[in-house]
Amino acid sequence: MVYSLPSPLLMLTLIQLISRFTSLQSSLLDPNSSTSCDKIERKALLQFKAGLQDYSGRLNSWFGKDCCRWSGVGCNKLTGHVTKLDLRNPYDQPYHQNASLVAAFKVARLGGRINPSLLDLKYLNYLDLSLNNFKNTPIPNFIASLTELSYLNLSSASFGGSVPHHLGNLSNLQYLDLYSYPLKYSPSIWVSDLNWIVGLSLLKHLNLGYVNLRMASTSWLSVINMLPYLEELHLPDCTLDQVPYSLPFVNFSSIQVLDLSENWFGSSVPQWLFNISSSLVVLNLGNSGIGRYSVNDVDWGKFCHLQTLDLSSSEISGELEKFVSSLSKCDNISLEVLHLWSNNLGGLIPESLGHMKNLKSLRIDDNPISGSIPASIGNLSCLEELYVADNKLNGTIPESIGQLNKLRELYLEGNWYGVILETHFLHLENLKSLYFSSWNKALAFDIRRDWIPPFSLELIFISHCQMGPNFPAWLKTQKDLRSLSLEEVAISYTIPDWFWEQTPQFRNLRLYNNKLRGTLPKSLKFAPGAFAVDLSSNLFEGPLPLCSQVRILSLRNNSFTGSIPKNIGEKMWQMEYLDLSKNFLSGNIPPSIGKFIRLQIISLSNNLLSGKIPWWKSLTSLRVIDFSKNNLSGSIPSSICSHPRLHILKLSGNNLFGNLSSLQKCMELSELGLADNKFYGGIPKWIGERLSSLSILSLGGNMFNGKIPENLCHLSYLHILELRHNNLSGRIPPCLGNLSGLSYLRPYSPQDPGSHPAYWNEMEFNVKGRILEFTLTLDLVNIIDLSRNNLQGEIPKEITNLSTLGTLNLSWNQLTGNIPKKIGNLRSLETLDLSGNHLSGTIPSSMSDITALSHLNFSYNNLSGPIPSTNQFRTFNDPSIYEGNSKLCGYPLSTNCSTTNNGQQENQDAEGKDEDVAEMLWLYFYIGMAPGFVMGFWAVCGSLIISKSWRHALFRLVDDIRDRIWVISTVTLAHLIEKLKGKRNGDFQRK
């Protein structure tokens, strides 16, 4: 073959083309080289900017002729047309309490109106407006006309309303993100029909997280199945409740990421999941309701490419060992994230878990797993997070954990025993969060005082372990520490001075329930925006410290003395929760506390405070006031009800007086404790009318008089009624038997105070013959205490309807009559005190059915007959509980019951049964009487209406009967008068 040389003209043409290509290539690679933007597009951008609110000046660079150099604007290097508009918030959405980051995020958000001038950006293919704040405005319909878009991100931008179905016109779209995480006061966004998504046939990424899809719940999967190129599908918390078990064909077989978490399907694992198992890399079914099955029934060996598997909070069961074995079938296990927390998985942690060498995050907390942690856990060299808590695990913690050199978070909670050594932390140089807790308190730390840890922790939480008695010296090396909790770890002595030099960087400090002693610095300094400081239940003494920057402060149950600093309101104005109870504080309550404009809970109980309750009006967020057990005097100020959210008011154990009229406007109260003061007058009727949410009413130990108002029976949530030791008279209202709060197991207030987790809501009541303090179980305590008043009449039988009543104390009143024979219906009763009354009759045999009864007092009444001798009555061996009832007999009294008495008791029991039968017979009688009366009435009256002669005969009969009755009554009355006169004359002569 003969080759000819190219002509000079052809060579010249090739050189020119190469030169132009090289020039083009260099211009494309040079970031400083660009073609000036189109004038029309520049004008469109400026109009768009004019409609926006830009508080942080993010768009200050938008000036000059070349819009391609503006921040967030991208252009085609050849044509100069705007192709990209990226106005995403530069700060990620904050999910934590870092005040400075939250503030920066909020300020940087763009807002305002999205101008339709964007339609002039004909070549725009990338639009990102995420993490901004458009304040519930709908997603503009005109966005659907930007047909060149391949990327659209409107996530977390506070759009509201319905997603426009016109978005289905964006046929070039490959990425669509409308994720709408619900921040506080954020609007809702929803989709009524998903069929428009079928038009997005090129879609690879779809995120509709937190978008309400309830109206599309039945068809969502069939629509998604029409997207053949889909690789990522994110539908967390979309209120979906239906998922088909199977599909006729699976079209979205390229999917790699599937997130259906936070929905509630209530089904087993769908069969179509196995058709896409080979492509799946991320599968998140956490809290989706795709559970209620045994993980051992699923062949997890088919999901060999999974890197993330989240089945948390899905009610799955089975053996963890078999589940891990199923996953291990794959030749090359690539799993990096395994979250199984909050399920019903049991069994042991298998040694084979150590074969998952790629595992980075393992969460098996909150499962009934037993046994111990295997030593093979040390083989997981990539592990960064390990959560093993809220299980049934025990045994020693393996030292091999110290080999996990990439570990950042370690959470271990169980019934551990043994010793924690320095080798447990040998190579944990990347550790940032350390959580140790052993509920059996059998885990001890054996660490040298001069030990220098390999890590620099940010969070430490250690509880119910033995770390003491010395304060841990190694904490001095932790310069990055932000949160420290050492709760019930048996440390004592004083806190070293160097420790208080570290606290200015702390956001949380909890040293609860140790034996720490000594005085604290006058001023405790913490990081800006600090959250909580809890030094309660120690032995600290001296004056109270001031803690600036803190929102929650608990110094309860110590030995602090002196007065509360007068300037506390100015120095600690950010305070939301303040607990100084159970100390020895004296003086007045400083008025400056009224400057705690964010205050929600204040507890100053069990101190030596005096003076009057301050007049506060600005504390509009206040939910709890507890000033009980002090020496406060005066009346309750009317301003106390100016706090619209006040749920709990406890002023018991003071010297307060007056009536309760100042509380009429406290209509949100759920607990009212005013016991042991000097209040007088009648119990107001408005309590039962206005305080409809009341669950606890404690007015005992005052000077209230009059009757118990029946309006109290309207308090449907009431489960503690304490009116002891007043001057109340009249009868016990029978309607107390209608208190529904004493008829179900766990009473609650509709406006649950939602009291802060650190708040100790405690009250004292007379239960089982002694004063007991209730805290965590207060909601489960059911009491009626009307003792030491002047109540008369019988015990209403309706009170036996209160099936969950735990304590009934009616002692030392003037009650008469019999004990209700159905008192055995009070099956939950633990304390019954009817002593010091005038009750008569026998002890009902039904009381033997109250098997929970542990405290009983019937002394000083007029009871008679045998004492029941079955069930719990065999345990009541103290004769004094029956003292003052001379006609009682039987164990534990020395008086034996005679045969007559036994026969009498049998007759009384039989009479009781006869009464029950009689009641039933009367009931049937009245039921049958009603239709009989109707038929008889019309049979007689109908006949009278039809027959005139019958009417005349009836009237004559009535007149005759009337005359006969008049004659008989007149004669009988005359005989009686004569007889009475004769009796009186005879009595007079005898005298």
Q: Where are the domains of the chain?
A: 727-747+756-896
Q: Which is more confident, 441 or 519?
A: 519
Token pair listed for 965: 């009755």
In the numeric block, which tokens belong to residue 907? 């007759």
pLDDT at 813 over 90: yes
Give the Cα separation of 267 and 221 in Å (integer).
Answer: 15
Asked whether the predicted pLDDT for residue 818 surpasses 90, the reply is: yes
Question: Taking Cα atoms as reference points, which of 295, 296, 243 lies closest to residue 273?
Answer: 243
Q: What is the largest CA-CA distance in the chain?
A: 173
Lowest mean pLDDT among 28-37, 189-198, 745-754, 769-778: 745-754
What's the mean pLDDT in 49-65?
95
Find residue 123's DSSP bridge partners.
none
491 is written with which tokens?
């440390």
Answer for the pair 88, 131: CB distance below 8 angstroms, yes or no: yes
Q: Tell me which fold the domain 727-747+756-896 belongs to.
A: 3.80.10
Q: Tokens 């990226």 label which residue?
A: 86
Distance CA 791, CA 786 (A): 8
Percent of the chain with pLDDT over 70: 84
Q: How confident is the model at residue 932 (pLDDT cuts 50, 70, 90)?
A: very low
Residue where the block lists tokens 């029956």: 882
| DSSP H stretches of helix in 545-652 | 568-571
390/412 Cα distance (integer angstroms): 9
Kindly report the number of other CB atoms within 10 A of residue 691's CB atom: 25
Task: Spell out a b/e string for 70-88, using b for 16 or more CB atoms within 10 Å of the CB, else e.
Answer: bebbbbbbeebbbbbbebb
- What pLDDT was estimated at residue 440? 87
Q: Tell me the average pLDDT across 575-590.
A: 96
Q: What pLDDT, on the 0 to 100 scale, is given for residue 748?
A: 45
Q: Amino acid letter at 355?
A: H
- Confidence (pLDDT) at 332: 81
What is the mean pLDDT of the segment spanning 787-800? 97
Contact (Cβ atoms closer than 8 angstroms) between residue 506 and residue 482: yes
CB 849 within 8 A of CB 824: yes
- Around Cβ 244, how many Cβ atoms within 10 Å? 17
**What is each CA distance from 120 to 41, 54, 70, 110, 117, in whole angstroms?**
6, 22, 17, 21, 6
* Residue 761: partners with Cβ closer than 8 Å, 6 or more residues away: 624, 648, 671, 753, 755, 775, 778
- Tell the residue number behind the tokens 């440390």, with chain if given: 491
Spatial distance between the Cα atoms of 13 and 524, rounded to a whole number of angstroms: 82
What is the Cα–Cα distance from 824 to 844, expressed in whole angstroms? Answer: 8
H/E element holding 964? Answer: helix 948-990
CA angle 475, 481, 482 (to 5 degrees): 140
Res 15: pLDDT:
36
Q: What amino acid is encoded at 683 in this protein?
A: I
Nearest to 152 by CA among 118, 133, 129, 119: 129
Distance CA 444, CA 416 (A): 9
The C-alpha atoms of residue 68 and residue 80 are separated, in whole angstroms, by 7
What type of residue is 558? Answer: N
Q: For residues 144-163, give the mean pLDDT.
A: 96
* Confidence at residue 328, expressed as pLDDT on a 0 to 100 scale: 83
pLDDT at 954 exceeding the cut of 50:
no
- Summarised one tens digit per residue, pLDDT across range 880-901 is 999 999 999 999 998 888 743 4
Q: Assess whether pLDDT exceeds 80 at residue 592.
A: yes
- Full 3-state SS string of 751-814: CCCCCCCCCCCCEEEEECCEEEEECCCHHHCCEEECCCCEEEECCCHHHHHCCCCCEEECCCCE
| DSSP assigned state of 924 | H
Measured CA to CA, the distance from residue 719 to residue 739 in angstroms comes to 8
Q: What is the pLDDT of residue 756?
A: 54
Reduced to 3 states (helix: H, G, I; strand: E, B; else coil), residue 409 is strand
Between helices 948-990 and 899-946, what is the axis angle to 10°? 140
| Parallel/antiparallel/unpaired status of strands 624-626 and 763-767 | unpaired
Q: What pLDDT shows up at residue 977? A: 43
Strands (E), 71-188: 73-75, 82-86, 111-112, 126-128, 151-153, 161-162, 175-177
Distance from C-alpha of 187 to C-alpha of 189, rounded to nearest angstrom = 7
- 152: three-class secondary structure by DSSP: strand
What are residue 444's phi and psi, to 5 degrees?
Answer: -120, 150
Q: How confident is the model at residue 374 (pLDDT cuts 50, 70, 90)?
A: very high
Give, in order, the Cα–Cα distances in Å from 602 to each of 10, 633, 649, 656.
93, 18, 10, 19
Pinpoint the alpha helices (H) of 85-131.
Answer: 99-108
Q: Name the nearest CA neighbour of 691 among 650, 728, 647.
A: 647
The pLDDT tens digits for 90-99 are 998 876 556 6
SS3 341: coil
Contact between 623 and 602 under an 8 Å Cβ cutoff? The reply is no
Helix (H) / strand (E) containing 865:
strand 862-866
Phi, psi (rounded to 5 degrees) for 939: -65, -45
Q: What is the pLDDT of residues 260-316, one digit of tens each?
A: 999 988 888 899 999 999 899 999 999 998 876 777 788 888 899 999 999 999 888
The pLDDT, as a whole number, for residue 409 is: 98
- Percent above pLDDT 90 for the chain: 69
Which tokens is 666 given?
């406290």
| 502 φψ region: left (φ > 0), alpha (ψ -120 to 50), beta (else) | alpha
For 320, 350, 367, the CA distances from 316, given in Å and listed in that order, are: 11, 18, 10
CA-derived radius of gyration, the chain: 40
- On the question of pLDDT at 637 being above 50, the answer is yes
> Residue 96 has what pLDDT?
59
Let me know: does 652 contact 675? Beta carbons within 8 Å: yes
Task: Report how many helices (DSSP H) and strands (DSSP E) the chain contains, helices first.
Answer: 10, 60
Band (pLDDT 50/70/90 cuts) for residue 918 is very low
pLDDT tens for each residue of 10-54: 443 443 443 344 333 434 434 444 467 899 999 999 999 999 999
Q: By C-alpha distance, which of 729, 836, 726, 833 is closest to 783? A: 833
Looking at residue 821, its pLDDT comes to 93
* Poorest-pLDDT segment among 135-139, 332-336, 382-386, 970-974: 970-974
Q: What's the rounded Cα separation, in Å, for the pair 204 and 177? A: 11
Residue 187 has what pLDDT? Answer: 57
Helix, strand or coil, per DSSP, at residue 673: strand
Q: What is the mean pLDDT of the chain?
A: 86
SS (H, E, C) 357-371: CCCCEEECCCCCCEE
- Only one residue has tokens 């706090």, namely 643
Q: Which of 550, 594, 600 is nearest to 577 (CA)?
A: 600
Contact present, 332 and 356 (Cβ < 8 Å)? no
Residues 770, 771, 776, 777, Cα dihedral to 10°? 40
609 vs 876: CA distance, rounded Å: 43
Mean pLDDT of 644-655: 94
Residue 931 has pLDDT above 50, yes or no: no
Structure tokens at 256: 């790699």
Secondary structure, 3-state, 188-229: CEECCCCHHHHHCCCCCEEECCCCECHHHCCCHHHHHCCCCC
